[in-house]
Structure 1
Amino acid sequence: MKNFEKYKPYPPVDKKDRKWPSKVIEKAPIWCSVDLRDGNQALEIPMSLDEKLEFYNKLVEIGFKEIEVSFPAASDTEFGFVRKLIDDDLIPDDVNIQVLTQSRDEIIEKTFASIKGAKKAIVHLYNSTSVLQRDVVFNASKEEVTEIAVKGAKKFLKEMKKYPETEFTFEYSPESYTGTEMDYAIEICNAVIDVWHGHVDNKIIINLPSTVEMATANIYADQIEYCSERLHHREDVVLSLHAHNDRGTGVAATELALMAGADRVEGTLFGNGERTGNCDIMVVAMNMYSQGIDPKLDFTKMRELGDLFERLTRMEINPRHPYVGSLVFTAFSGSHQDAIRKGMAKREERKQKIWEVPYLPIDPKDVGGTYDPIVRINSQSGKGGVAFVLEQNYGLYLPKAFQRDFSKVTTAVSDKHHRDLAPEVIFDIFKKEYINNESPIKLIRYKETTKDEDKDVSVKAIIEYNGKEAEVNGSGNGIIDAFTHALENHFDVEMEVTDYREHSMEYGTNARAISYIQIEGKDHKMYYGAGVSSNITLSSFYAVVSVANKIVK
């Protein structure tokens, strides 16, 4: 790209004593969902009142204690939604609604009027402070911009007195904080803090938004730590984050900023919001969960939540979206599939409480998933993946050599049709390729005898070959060996058994057993077959016949 010279690098924060790089996140922050305001205003078709109410109820169910519900002055629908929550007593005692307002008297008045009668509420004041906004949009000096914020903060105190029934929390955001000189951002925040401090019972929220993500995540962390160390009355301030995702690192920026001293996170589910969206609160919470931290939010019905989100917002969740995407717990690669299969088996064997499975950072069942889609078979898959699907869905445990042979079969089918294979399709292919194959040879009945002198086993069997019955006889050191020799003698072929396994079936059992057999032919080629029956001898004979039908022409 040849136009890169039109852009300039973002200046780093001159901070030599940064502490956050050595810190870790140890507990969940205060979460504030802005889905119903910031997320809603970014929709092509904003949610209706009923849709917002359904979304709100889901946010409450998940466990959000702070929810930004509206910009009440924006429209009658937004104002009416706040009134419905209050008038219909839809706000639980432990939930605090939040409303947003610009620093203009008439808008502040309408915002306070919208929450009349609420038991408690967060009122969020903002004005733009960045160098670019001051120059291009407002043509205002720092002093003039600060006066806008201070005037709004003082108006809050006047309006608060009109509604003594409400317990207020005040929040201030220097919009475009990351485009503002750090010392000036601190100056304007402190000016607002000085107006409010001592006049409200609750802590003041200072929200530092990355309104447009402009730099790497570590710089946002530096900015948060720098500001946190310089705010007035820091012990009475809740330091809040509101990261956008223009560079695709909104989650990382939020996590590093929490390490840098922030107490609270504003964001949306699945990252909805203007342009590339907001920080995805669900991802931040689930990242904590994966580290053994209680996120204080309940995402155990993730797919159900994703469906609701898509229906109400008319947006689509990317199949690769962390934790909720339809493919995030799915492996197509053969090596990945094999590692997952072994990890799951080892975990079951060891009865592990700690989740440790290759390529799966969390247990899909924790978010309402199943193990069915973990491994999906296509032309890139290997033997481990095929084995996993049959084990998990049908209780079949194929020997390793058998797995390799079957993976070639499924790869060929997937490659031919250019699609992945569902578990039921894989099972159907397996049955057709290996189990109880009866053409051209079919076993009708058999009789077993033992010679006293050498203890060899003899078998007399009636088979059908191309529609005609015939008797076959053979002896061997076991019943499978004897039956194999009987078929060798009759058809003049070579069939040397090189491996035999059997186990009871766990799928549709009815006390059935499955036998797997590997036989080497005259051409030194390996052939594989399987048999299923409630009689273990019959299941082994059916497996031998299945192989014979591949050898006998």
Structure 2
Amino acid sequence: MPSHRYRDVYERVSVPLTDRQWPSNRITEAPLWVPVDLRDGNQALTEPMDPDRKRRFFEMLVAMGYKEIEVGYPSASQADFDFVRLIGSEGLAPEDVSIVVFTPARRDLIERTVESVRGITNDVVLHMYCATAPTWREVVLGASRERVAELIMAGARDILELAGDLPNVRFQFSPEVFMLTEPDFVLDICDRITTLWDARPERPVVLNLPATVEVATPNVYADQIEYMHRNLARRDSVILSVHPHNDRGTGIACAELAVLAGAQRVEGCVFGNGERTGNVDLAVLALNLHAQGVNPMVDFSDIDRVRETVEYCTRLPIHDRHPYAGDLVYTAFSGTHQDAIKKGFAEHRARAERMGLPEREIPWQVPYLPIDPADVGRSYDAVIRVNSQSGKGGIAYLLEQEYGIEMSRRRQIEFARHVQGYMDRIGTEVSAQTLRELYAQVYGVDSTV
């Protein structure tokens, strides 16, 4: 592996932060989640969503309780422009949902973007971006640091001129590739933006600090966010936002540490779709909070319905092992896991009876299951399945759940040997019905009983 071609990026992206506070902080409430599936996620699809799919996806996001939704890049295509106009003309967004539209820092494209939102009565966020990191300045923009600053401020002035008089419009700025931009440069640009846009608590400016390409360990990103959080001017008039990608596979950690470091808003996609390895996964982030006793403020109580909608709209499958949503994440094949889960369920029921409360009202303490599958609309039926790796606990659990057959420990051990022999011959998963038939063969019990 030619590792010598690369260098530790910490030297380029570290910030002067020696008394970091984020390691001692705790997340006690959900940030503002902003799904970008209809813009960032959509532009990463082999087949972008058609209008019907975009509408279905948008309506699902509204039903789940998202209060701010990025809906498109109106200057990039007629399809995106028309969809934004459709939201306004047909009143698709409830009054309490804010609409976000995306634009580069270029006057003609800003004009087109502002045109798309005229007539929308909801709160609107105009999201302007421009790359700021050295490699992007030199290779992509062919401009000096000073020239890039001028381009950004010109775009900011254009937004103020074209939309500053619209009472329902707020502004957002993203220094694209923030994670590789010099701290002093990005801080200066952000402060100049909030001054120009007259950021106030009653009309705050969103400063979105993206890990456009994930290049460092999550603690580095947390340091960068805390540095901005503690040094921004007009901090009480800024909504500090993050937009992590997943190039190193640690987008979730980056987002969680960024919130510990002061971020109030997180952009991502519901199941992590996005360019390259994807945007940060909002479902995992939300359900991680749920698993820690914090209300995520979005509804995943029917996660299979959400998954089916996302799969239909994006034409991308959700992996069987995807956290919380995959087909197999609440399923145990291993004998030791099955035995622990079976005992955990039994103790959970017994504890609820002792306390005189419904099972859904008492603390969840079942081994190997970080949340109750019922919280996300899953049943217990598929939690334990039997294959050649399974043991007596899983076999006993299925027979008891499906047919009411309770076996003594000695019989569990004995019958498991018969099942193992059968499994060694067929080599595939065995159903509860097949277990019942084997049980009848071994012990002479009518399999229809």
TM-score under structure 2 length normalisation: 0.95
- 2-structure distance, mates of 1:229, 1:55: 37
Equivalence map 1:26-45=2 (5 Å) = 26-45=28-47
* Alpha-carbon separation, structure 1, partners of 2:384 and 2:266: 35
Whether the 8 Å CA contact 2:81–2:116 is kept in 1: the answer is yes
Displacement after TM superposition at 1:411 (Å): 2.2
The one of 394, 401, 407 equivalent to 1:385 is: 394
Q: Does 2:134 correspond to 1:131?
A: yes
- In the other structure, the counterpart of 2:355 is none
Aligned to 1:58: 60
Question: For residues 197 and 84 of structure 1, what CA distance do their matches in structure 2 show?
Answer: 31
Structure richer in helix, relative to its length: 2
Aligned to 2:347: 346
The reply on whether 1:421 has 2:430 as its aligned counterpart is yes
In proportion to residue count, which structure has more strand?
1
Deviations 1:259-294 (A, max 9, x none): 001100101011000000000011000000001110
Question: 2:170 is aligned with what amino acid?
Answer: T
- Displacement of 1:169 in angstroms is 1.4
**1:508-527 deviation digits (Å, cap 9, x = unpaired):** 9xxxxxxxxxxxxxxxxxxx
1:186 aligns to 2:187 (yes or no): yes
1:413 Cα offset (Å): 2.4
State the Cα distance separating 1:116 from its structure 2 match: 0.6
Query: What letter is aligned with 1:109?
Result: E
SS at match of 1:124: strand
Shift of 1:427: 2.1
Matched-pair contact (CA < 8 Å) for 1:29–1:263: yes
Aligned positions of 1:385-464 closer than 5 A: 385-436=394-445
The code of the aligned residue for 2:5 comes to K
Match of 1:97 in 2: 99
Matches within 5 A, 1:218-229: 218-229=219-230
CA distance in 2, matches of 1:410, 1:202: 67
Q: What is the root-mean-square deviation in Å for CA atoms of aligned residues?
A: 1.5
- Kindly name which structure, 1 or 2, has the bigger radius of gyration based on alpha carbons: 1
For 1:311 and 1:324, the matched residues in 2 are separated by: 15
Q: What is the rounded CA distance, in whole Å, between the counterparts of 2:425 and 2:186 in structure 1? A: 61
Match of 1:362 in 2: 371
Give the residue type in structure 2 aligned to 1:345: A
Q: Is the 8 A contact 1:112 1:159 kept in 2?
A: yes
Q: 1: distance between equivalents of 2:414 and 2:150?
A: 77
Note the 1:33-432 alignment, pairs <5 A: 33-119=35-121, 120-161=123-164, 164=166, 166-198=167-199, 201-351=202-352, 353-432=362-441
Partner of 1:241, secondary structure, is strand
Give CA-to-partner distance per residue, 1:191-230, whole Å, 9 cap, x none: 2111112589521100000000001111111110011111
Report how many aligned residue pairs link the two structures: 437
Q: Secondary structure at the match of 1:207?
A: strand
> What is the percentage of aligned positions where both structures have the same residue?
45
Q: Is the 8 A contact 1:389 1:423 kept in 2?
A: yes
Q: Shift of residue 433 of structure 1?
A: 2.6
Q: AA paired with 1:228?
A: H
Cα deviation digits, residues 127-153 of structure 1 (max 9, x gap): 000111011111211111111111111
Q: Name the SS for the 2:271 alignment partner.
A: helix
Shift of the 282–437 alpha-carbon distance from structure 1 to 2, 3 Å rule, reads closer
- Structure 1 counterpart SS, 2:366: coil
Residue 32 of structure 1 aligns to a residue whose secondary structure is strand
Show CA shifts across 1:327-385 (max 9, x none).
10111111111000001101111116000000000000110101111111111111111
In structure 1, give the amino acid aligned to 2:297: K
Residue segments in structure 1 that go unaligned for 5+ positions in a row: 439-507, 509-531, 533-553
Contact 1:205–1:238 at 8 Å: present in 2 too? yes
Residue 82 and residue 304 in structure 1: after superposition, are their counterparts in 2 closer, same or farther (change >3 A)? Answer: same
How far, CA to CA, are the matches of 1:201 and 1:348 in structure 2? 50
Q: Give the conservation status (yes or no) of the 8 Å contact 1:379–1:412.
A: no
Show the counterpart of 2:5. Answer: 6
Q: Which has the higher contact order (CA 8 A, sep 6+)?
A: 2
Aligned partner letter, 1:67: I
SS at match of 2:439: helix
Counterpart-to-counterpart distance in 1, 2:33 and 2:7: 34
Per-residue Cα deviation, 1:404-463 (whole angstroms, up to 9, x for no partner):
12222222222322211222222222223324379xxxxxxxxxxxxxxxxxxxxxxxxx
> Does structure 2 retain, via aligned residues, the 8 Å contact 1:157–1:199?
no
Alignment of 1:524-535 (within 5 A): none
